[in-house]
Amino acid sequence: MSSLAGQIGMKQIVLDIGNTRVKISDGVCCAAAAHRQEDFLDRFAECAAKFTEAAGCCSWWIASVNRPVLAQVRKWLAEERAGEPVTVLTYRNIPIRMNVDFPERVGVDRLLAAVAANELRDPDRPAIVADLGTALKVDLVAQDGVFCGGAIAPGLRMSAVAMEEQTDALPCADVDAMLGSMKANEISSLGRNTLDAIQAGLFWGTVGTIRELTAQTSAHLHTKPQVFLTGGGAGIVRDALGDGFLYVEEMVLKGLWAAVRELSGE
């Protein structure tokens, strides 16, 4: 981890390394490279070049939930952007208090989404963040801004792959097509063929999981929480969830930028 000294005046670039892709942003634009493809580093280099070509020296801030990919990216930075400061965010330097058993085991994506929730929520109300990515996370941020933990369940793609891999005959649903082109009112709970039935189970099962986890968490609170919905799969479920869920794009990135501003003194 780099020292923060000397980073003032440099162009700040953040990397959000998830379990499916790496997002890169300079605070204005955002790009992504899927790291499960063989040419990941080439794609990552192309994305990075868009932000660094005319920037001179840059300061890199990384949040990661995938250790092997983090190692690849750090090696690339050491070779291709030698001498530039790199800061990896952990539970120790993310600006949020925690009330959990093992803070060091909490995914930084969950913590950063909570940081964003603290910037967005009514200060007199707690918040629940439902983040539908590779995994579904439903977490509580207390009224005093403390991250209190939550629940983790399989995301849409993870569930689809598991059904194919752990059965003999069930096919894998095309979750990318589902996320990219379908709307909630186009997905019936009564599938008339196997793929439609899997799609119905994935979609409405996820909607039900978010609703129930939100209800269970809210039941223990004295003040009605604000509920935020985010993540790559959130766009397709937000209409089905209806009122009471505020959709916010890229809460993890928003929280990452908030952490960078605080840590860099900007």
Return d(Cα 28, Cα 135) in angstroms, integer. 27
Query: H-helix or E-strand containing 169?
Result: none
* DSSP label of 81: S
Q: Which tokens is 90 given?
A: 């952990």
Return d(Cα 214, Cα 111) in angstroms, integer. 18
Beta strands per DSSP E along 77-231: 86-88, 127-132, 135-141, 147-154, 226-230
Return d(Cα 137, Cα 255) in angstroms, integer. 15
Return d(Cα 22, Cα 73) in angstroms, integer. 9
Is residue 253 a contact partner of residue 14, using CB atoms and an 8 Å limit? yes
Query: H-helix or E-strand containing 13?
Result: strand 11-17
Q: Is 109 a catalytic residue?
A: yes
Q: Which tokens is 69 given?
A: 């990919």
Query: What are the φ and ψ backbone dihedral angles of 184, each rounded to 5 degrees?
Result: -55, -40
- CA nearest to 214, candidates 242, 233, 175: 242
Q: Which tokens is 48 given?
A: 């990075």
Which is catalytic among the residues 109, 196, 239, 243?
109
Catalytic residue ranges: 109
